[in-house]
Amino acid sequence: MSNSQAFRIPRIGFGWDSHEFKPGIPLKVGGVVLPHHSGLAGHSDGDVLLHALTDALLGAIAAGDIGTYFPPTDPKWKGADSAMFVREALRLVDEAGYVVGNIDSTLILAAPKIAPHATAIQQKVADLLGIEPSRVGIKAKTPEGMGTDNAAIAHVAVLLAEISWP
């Protein structure tokens, strides 16, 4: 039994990512370079928020995860701008017949403080997604009792709406 013809069902996606801090490299969060003594090491430019966002977009259309399209073992992605991963995920979302309704995110990191940069990150992510900043939630917490002070963690939830044709 299927009711997918009778209802336009929105789709939810969820993404999670973490990266370790490494001294002397730039810190990029949501496509914004933040002033800090350490950056995030690992896949591409280490943008933990854009990686979680990419996974949330792909998850919403059940299209695998970031590693499916951009394997971290491929040297081609070393230092790459993570915005390109989001753009590719958006292309697949569009192809599947969906648009982004809104996203919400939580960053978990001991330092630096995200609050002074939250508006810039919100604007940058909104631009990347082609939606209003009011549809992009950026929240941040410190990792109390988790013992992850040398890592940045990001959670992203996304809601997709079906493209409706007149």
Binding interface with Zn ion (CB under 5 A): 17, 43, 51
Question: Which residue in the shown chain puts its C-beta closest to Zn ion?
Answer: 51
The least CB distance from residue 48 to Zn ion, in Å, is 6
CB atoms within 10 A of CB 89: 28
Burial of residue 154, with CB atoms counted within 10 A of its CB: 0-12 exposed, 13-18 middle, 19 or more buried: buried
The least CB distance from residue 99 to Zn ion, in Å, is 25
CA distance 128 to 31: 9
What sign does the dihedral 113-116-120-123 (CA atoms) show?
positive
CB 15 within 8 A of CB 156: yes
Minimum CB distance to Zn ion smaller for 17 or for 39? 17
DSSP three-state, residue 33: strand
Minimum CB distance to Zn ion smaller for 58 or for 98? 58
The least CB distance from residue 50 to Zn ion, in Å, is 8
The least CB distance from residue 74 to Zn ion, in Å, is 14
CA distance 40 to 26: 7
